[in-house]
Chains A and B, each alone.
Chain A
Amino acid sequence: MNLIFELSKKGREGIQAPPMDVPQAAVSLPMQRKMPPRLPEVTENQVVRHYVNLSSMNHHVDKDFYPLGSCTMKYNPKINDEIASHPGFSALHPMQPAPTVQGALQVLHELSQALCKIAGMDAITLQPAAGAQGELTALLIFRAYLLKRDGNPRKKVIIPDSAHGTNPASIAMAGYEIVQIASGSDGLLDIGGLERVVDADTAALMVTNPNTLGLFESRISEAVALVHAAGGLVYMDGANLNALLGITRPGDMGFDACHLNLHKTFSTPHGGGGPGSGPVAVKKRLEPFLPLPVLSMKHGGYFWEWDRPDSIGQMHGFYGNFDVAVRALTYILTMGSDGLQAVSENAIINANYLRARLAEHYDLPYSQACMHEVVFSGDRQKARGVKTLDIAKRLLDFGFHPPTVYFPLIVHEALMIEPTETESKETLDRFVDAMIQIDRESQAEPERLHDAPMNTPVRRLDEVGAARNLNINYFAQTHGSI
């Protein structure tokens, strides 16, 4: 494929200049640009063809199975997009006076209420633009709370070694030290190990539940009690909430705060890497510390409240990714309490079905019943000279997106599979057939796996070379400074 810059020819235009109905002579600005930016000069139809062709090189949920573990690649309902793109939502300026945006504020209010009920929490902020920003928001809330309560924010945040990479990165940004504890042999939080590290310096414990192995942390109440007894707080990374809807709630497990990924559990599209939305729900005692502004109601009207002296401050320029919130509310209204419960039930059955069907062919380091995702190891295939990466690349030839690979870090050659509830048994069976065939190929013709993928727009790409011979800007390919 050409780059858009390679289609450029001097004199081509993609838009017609806007009309000028005012005198323009009088204005003379300082700092005028000497060299125009080298944007492409192309016509509209060229732009359309270029980006349509590029789009056709993408795997996407509307095309086929996308079982990326921890990413919850479920179907993104079309009605959500239609509602979010209605000008009544999409054409609102963030500084419009509150009386002119009451419908928008009501959306945020209703979504807040629904998410609090789903999470078993008391209050929420919709401001975080993604899950990682939600984690950081919650840690800053913890920090502010501890500082107010004890005059000391404490020093450490504990995570299990199965945690998402964003957890330690968020802890570092919140100014805390990371204490990592090894998971038990059953893949779960090691309560004894936790007990050994929890002390008066412990600000918080961060736990993903179900964890990144897809296992429910059965002893979560004990873990919470340990940390609470030491005066610390407990956070749930809600990336895996798709397993819990209507079954159990973070609030009921004792968590003080959790984030929810609207772009996972609540069906909003991932956009090739965003926008997401990572609201943070908290217990009552943390409410005063929520980011500014907070949605409130007075005389029957909604408004943004800024006068909150204990707040951690603003986390976003405005109120977060509003159009994602519109989609999520549309989804929650569509599914209802019964539909949401069916989501988790089907997500869990689908994951366990894959677990059962593939258990003979791939190593299963933790063989108990899983929740919404299952993690296999490619160790058996590796012994035959086939890496998990090869398995992933071969799956591309079958038209599937591979599972998340090499994560969680505690499983060798990990293959983390999350089917979601929106996949049919037939799709899962096709995937199982492909995985079984790949296992056979790993014995009979491993070179086939080393050569994969064969049927994709490009063949296996040299990632090491990309970092070594860095070219990240078309116009600076020969630039000495990069």
Chain B
Amino acid sequence: MHYIPNTKEDRAAMLEAIGAKNFEELLRAIPRELRLEKPLSLPTAKSEWEVRGRMLSLAQKNEDLTKRISFMGAGFYDHFVPAAVRALAARSELYTAYTPYQPEVSQGTIQIIYEFQSMICQLFGMDAANASLYDGATALAEAVLLARTHTNRTKILWPVTVHPHYRRVAETLGRPLGLEAETIASPDGVVSRADLRGKLDNEIAAVVLQYPNFLGIIEEIEPLIEAAHERGAMAIVVADPIAMGILEPPGALGADLVVGEGQALGIPASYGGPALGLFAARGELVRRIPGRIAGVTKDRQNQRGFVLTLQTREQHIRRERATSNICTNQGLCATTAAIYLSLVGPKGLRDIAHACTAKAHYLAKELSKIPGVALAFPHPFFKEFAVRFPVSPTRIANHLLEEGILAGVPLRYFEIGMDDLLLVAVTEQRTKDEMDAYVAVVREVISS
């Protein structure tokens, strides 16, 4: 047992110090009938050599993004991760620490959280951010719950262009608390202002919008936010952090809460998790924020230091009156994002966002040249777009997969009435050659 240092002699000496004749004596509190009579029906211990071989054989069964060219998005993206991000996030000083309960020996972790919070506030144009939630979907759920408590209202309005999975998670968490959601019409992929105004009344706790939206479209959310505010509803915006390199931040457009998925900020896709739930709020809402928050303070010698603060919001103090039940969050992912954002800086983030946009528009334009292929919606988009083919998107995707290309995400998976569309995402990593290859395959499939 190469992780268990006590020898047989150590155990004997310890049992003697305890005053127990044998190990069994320590288990006397467990009733006989509850004891397992046989060992667990699992294989016995294996060497590292064997385990490594077995696990790598499973890894090799997957067609990963180093072997396939990915145009998949829908919340998770194939952005470039600089080597320094991986190297720093892999430091065991950071990843083998627990939640920083003893700040004097956790200054690394807490200062990084403080830097992370400050960076997220900058990206989203907000006053306060927390240390992370599980993912974009649970971040939206927490935002919706906050709106319920803050407004003392129980209805939410959102369009289908808010990520369907996020809405489902928010529904799962909202249901037991009596939260109801209604859908705002989005003909042509953007919110109908008339429908929003028609549905807004004094019972709406919040209007949720996504920016750019789930279909990649950059919606003009400012008037929608104003409309929500006019009826006393909060405005919650789900935002893409990479887009913040070039787009006006939701905070500047009036959002009360901004949430999002931070996976794009240097975190490997890892089949959907760990992800990084981003959560930011206007200053006056700070005491309603769920989860951990790092703050600045001083030590006894008046040196600057960092601690977890406003802990009376949290479950370990406030118990059933806490703002959320969250304890463990996604600390290492927040660390990774802080390192990533430090490296890319304002110029790098803008360059990455520009490259995504330019490349996405190149692919969209080239695809549109193919007879029968068209963009589904006539609106400006960021790095992702929905496209309609004269054949089923699954057929297109299957052919592209044979050529080593993951074509995008068929929207039929989301049951939003767009079953004939493919959602295609283009990051800064994609090259003109890869996109030309994509277009060539589509051309061939359609003409055959």
Closest to B78 in A: A93
**Cβ-defined contact, A334 with B138, below 8 A:** no
**Cβ-defined contact, A247 with B52, below 8 A:** no
Asked if A27 lies at the interface with its beta carbon under 8 angstroms from chain B, I say yes
Pick the contact of A319: B19, B43, B271 (CB < 8 A): B271
Q: How far is the CA of A368 from the CA of B249 in the complex (A)?
A: 59
**Cβ-defined contact, A92 with B271, below 8 A:** yes
* B134: chain A residues within 8 A (beta carbon): 129-130, 133, 275, 316
Contact string against B for A residues 20-50, beta-carbon threshold 8 Å, 1 for contact and 0 otherwise: 1111101101111110111111101001101
Asked if A286 lies at the interface with its beta carbon under 8 angstroms from chain B, I say no
Q: A52-B88, A117-B42, A269-B95 are in contact. Are A33 and B328 (CB under 8 A)?
A: no
**Cβ-defined contact, A20 with B309, below 8 A:** no
**Cβ-defined contact, B138 with A396, below 8 A:** no
Closest to A351 in B: B26
- Which stretch, B79-87, B153-161, B384-392, B439-447, touches the partner chain A? B79-87
Residues of B53-99 whose CB lies within 8 A of A:
54-66, 68, 70, 72, 74-76, 78, 80, 82, 84, 87-88, 90-99
**Cβ-defined contact, A83 with B138, below 8 A:** no
Pick the contact of A14: B115, B327, B345 (CB < 8 A): B345
Pick the contact of A26: B57, B310, B361 (CB < 8 A): B361
**Cβ-defined contact, B40 with A337, below 8 A:** yes
Min Cβ gap A152→B in Å is 13
Residues of B282-301 whose CB lies within 8 A of A:
282-284, 286, 292-301
* B330: chain A residues within 8 A (beta carbon): 129, 271, 273-275
**Cβ-defined contact, A317 with B136, below 8 A:** yes
Pick the contact of B127: A135, A326, A407, A479 (CB < 8 A): A479
Query: How many A-B contacts if CB must be within 8 Å?
Result: 712
* A68: chain B residues within 8 A (beta carbon): 98, 101
Asked if B272 lies at the interface with its beta carbon under 8 angstroms from chain A, I say yes
* A54: chain B residues within 8 A (beta carbon): 107-108, 111-112
The residue in B42, B68, B354, B359 that gathers the most chain A C-beta atoms within 10 A of its C-beta is B42
Min Cβ gap A397→B in Å is 10
* B298: chain A residues within 8 A (beta carbon): 461-462, 465
Q: How far is the CA of A39 from the CA of B25 in the complex (A)?
A: 59
Asked if B346 lies at the interface with its beta carbon under 8 angstroms from chain A, I say yes
**Cβ-defined contact, A475 with B118, below 8 A:** yes
Closest to B47 in A: A334
**Cβ-defined contact, A317 with B169, below 8 A:** yes
Q: How far is the CA of A342 from the CA of B23 in the complex (A)?
A: 11
**Cβ-defined contact, A91 with B84, below 8 A:** no
Closest to A128 in B: B134
Q: A102-B62, A425-B6 are in contact. Are A247 and B36 (CB under 8 A)?
A: yes
**Cβ-defined contact, B61 with A102, below 8 A:** yes
Q: A117-B40, A173-B325 are in contact. Are A424 and B107 (CB under 8 A)?
A: no
**Cβ-defined contact, B107 with A95, below 8 A:** no
**Cβ-defined contact, B62 with A321, below 8 A:** no
- Which stretch, B194-202, B224-232, B331-339, B369-377, touches the partner chain A? B331-339
Min Cβ gap A471→B in Å is 4
Please list the 7 inter-chain residue pairs (A to B) with the smallest Cβ-Cβ separation, ordered nearest first.
A88-B59, A318-B272, A94-B272, A273-B331, A271-B332, A103-B61, A481-B283
Q: How far is the CA of A470 from the CA of B6 in the complex (A)?
A: 47
Contact string against B for A residues 156-180, beta-carbon threshold 8 Å, 1 for contact and 0 otherwise: 0000000001101111111110100
**Cβ-defined contact, B93 with A60, below 8 A:** yes
Asked if B403 lies at the interface with its beta carbon under 8 angstroms from chain A, I say no
Q: A263-B328, A425-B14 are in contact. Are A22 and B40 (CB under 8 A)?
A: no
**Cβ-defined contact, A91 with B268, below 8 A:** yes
Closest to B425 in A: A93
- Which stretch, A228-236, A248-256, A379-387, A441-449, touches the partner chain B? A248-256
**Cβ-defined contact, A23 with B362, below 8 A:** yes
**Cβ-defined contact, B358 with A356, below 8 A:** no
Residues of B323-360 whose CB lies within 8 A of A:
324-333, 335, 338-339, 341-352, 354-355, 357-359
**Cβ-defined contact, B331 with A271, below 8 A:** yes
* B51: chain A residues within 8 A (beta carbon): 79, 330, 333-334
Q: A13-B345, A168-B319, A473-B118 are in contact. Are A129 and B168 (CB under 8 A)?
A: no
24 intermolecular pairs with C-beta atoms under 8 Å apart:
A39-B119, A57-B111, A88-B64, A90-B268, A91-B64, A91-B65, A93-B269, A93-B271, A94-B273, A100-B63, A107-B55, A130-B327, A132-B326, A133-B138, A168-B319, A221-B33, A267-B3, A269-B96, A273-B113, A320-B272, A323-B273, A339-B45, A369-B25, A404-B101
* B27: chain A residues within 8 A (beta carbon): 216, 247, 348
Asked if B188 lies at the interface with its beta carbon under 8 angstroms from chain A, I say no
Residues of A434-468 whose CB lies within 8 A of B:
453, 456-463, 465-467
* B338: chain A residues within 8 A (beta carbon): 4
Contact string against A for B residues 100-116, beta-carbon threshold 8 Å, 1 for contact and 0 otherwise: 11111111110111110
Q: How far is the CA of A271 from the CA of B132 in the complex (A)?
A: 13
**Cβ-defined contact, B62 with A104, below 8 A:** yes
**Cβ-defined contact, B328 with A130, below 8 A:** yes
Q: How far is the CA of A221 from the CA of B351 in the complex (A)?
A: 62
Pick the contact of A315: B106, B169, B249, B320 (CB < 8 A): B169
How many residues from A make CB contacts under 8 Å with B?
A: 206
**Cβ-defined contact, B98 with A461, below 8 A:** no
Q: How far is the CA of A278 from the CA of B192 in the complex (A)?
A: 40
Asked if B417 lies at the interface with its beta carbon under 8 angstroms from chain A, I say no
Min Cβ gap B112→A in Å is 6
* A297: chain B residues within 8 A (beta carbon): none
Min Cβ gap B37→A in Å is 10
* A340: chain B residues within 8 A (beta carbon): 40, 42
Closest to A254 in B: B34
Asked if A138 lies at the interface with its beta carbon under 8 angstroms from chain B, I say no
Residues of A123-155 whose CB lies within 8 A of B:
129-133, 135-136, 140, 143, 153
**Cβ-defined contact, A248 with B36, below 8 A:** yes
* A30: chain B residues within 8 A (beta carbon): 218, 220, 380
* B310: chain A residues within 8 A (beta carbon): 467, 470, 472
* B416: chain A residues within 8 A (beta carbon): none
**Cβ-defined contact, B271 with A94, below 8 A:** yes
**Cβ-defined contact, B40 with A473, below 8 A:** no
**Cβ-defined contact, B432 with A103, below 8 A:** no
Q: A61-B96, A91-B268, A100-B62 are in contact. Are A457 and B104 (CB under 8 A)?
A: yes
* A274: chain B residues within 8 A (beta carbon): 99, 132, 274, 328-333
Asked if A227 lies at the interface with its beta carbon under 8 angstroms from chain B, I say no
Pick the contact of A479: B4, B271, B283 (CB < 8 A): B283
Q: How far is the CA of A342 from the CA of B99 in the complex (A)?
A: 27
Closest to A83 in B: B55
* A79: chain B residues within 8 A (beta carbon): 48, 51-52
* B34: chain A residues within 8 A (beta carbon): 220-221, 248, 252-253
Pick the contact of B273: A42, A55, A320, A353 (CB < 8 A): A320
Closest to B85 in A: A47
* A86: chain B residues within 8 A (beta carbon): 55-56, 59
Min Cβ gap B50→A in Å is 8
Contact string against A for B residues 17-38, beta-carbon threshold 8 Å, 1 for contact and 0 otherwise: 1111001011111110111100
Min Cβ gap A265→B in Å is 13
**Cβ-defined contact, A71 with B98, below 8 A:** yes
